[in-house]
Amino acid sequence: MSSARLLVIGWLFQLKMQWRDPFTGIFAVLYPMFFATVAFLMFRVHGGATSLLYAALGAGVMGIWACVSTTSGSAMQRERWHGTLEVLVASPSPFALILLPVTVAMSTIGLYCMVATLLWGRLAFGINFSVVHWGAFVAAVPATVVSIGCLGFLLAVTFVRYRTAWALGNMLEYPVWLICGFLVPLALLPGWVQPVSWVLAPTWGMNAIRQSALGGTPWPDLALCVGLGALYIAVGVLVLDRALAAARARASLSLT
């Protein structure tokens, strides 16, 4: 219960703090509009209503990932800049329970990206938003958000030893949304891309959202999305414990 309470309080605190960050506010407002407009203009040329809805859902999840990728890379670096990393690591609570709410909160803010994208598509491009399986859709959206946050957590603990971790997170933004098939179908990409996409939870989350909206069987994709998210947390905790043990042994946590 104490761990769950720490996660919830940390999530709420990070959510409030991120919303008050001017960079995050501009980032969350402009990015979904940019992604959505470009996607709608491309798909409107030769696509029908189904293709436009396909693009709208993909652009919405792209906005969620865009919010998380840069934030996850800079999560540890930001604590170094503030001078609070050593205090957080030395606190009685496991550091993983402190770091995980950072990326999950940012992916929660990314929910705005999906809502804004669908509204923008409806108001500016006349896209009719219809869902075939509402129950699966309601389950798939938060599951995808949380799994993207878990992937961000794994990236954050993996980049802990790099001074330019924010640049690494920013660099992964476009390759991941391409590999996960947010806008470009995986069948159009080289064959070696598909096995890589299978180990990324956003791939299955995106499939579950589209299958529930356009009609299909979203539950297997949803189960894989949730399972991979849990796997990211388990691997992230192991990596974080190993990194912190090495940092304590070498007194290199602050990278100074």
pLDDT tens per residue across span 154-183: 888 887 767 666 677 778 888 888 899 888
pLDDT score of 11 more than 80: yes
* pLDDT interval class at 226 (50, 70, 90): very high
- CA dist 217 and 133 (Å) reads 9
Q: For 25, how many CA atoms within 13 A lie in the half-sphere containing its CB?
A: 6
pLDDT score of 255 more than 90: no
* pLDDT interval class at 197 (50, 70, 90): very high
* pLDDT interval class at 256 (50, 70, 90): low
Quick count: other Cβ atoms within 10 Å of Cβ 232? 23
Q: Is residue 207 part of a domain?
A: yes
Q: Is residue 102 part of a domain?
A: yes
pLDDT score of 76 more than 80: no
Q: Is residue 255 part of a domain?
A: no
Number of domains in the chain: 1
Q: Which domain holds residue 115?
A: 2-250
Q: Is residue 110 part of a domain?
A: yes
The structure's pTM equals 0.87
Higher pLDDT, 73 or 200: 200
| Cβ–Cβ under 8 Å, residues 1 and 82 | no
**Cβ neighbours of residue 116 under 8 Å, at least 6 residues apart?**
29, 32, 33, 36, 63
Q: Angle at the Cα of 181 (from 180 to 183), degrees rounded to 5?
A: 135
- CA dist 211 and 208 (Å) reads 5
pLDDT score of 149 more than 60: yes
Q: Is residue 256 part of a domain?
A: no
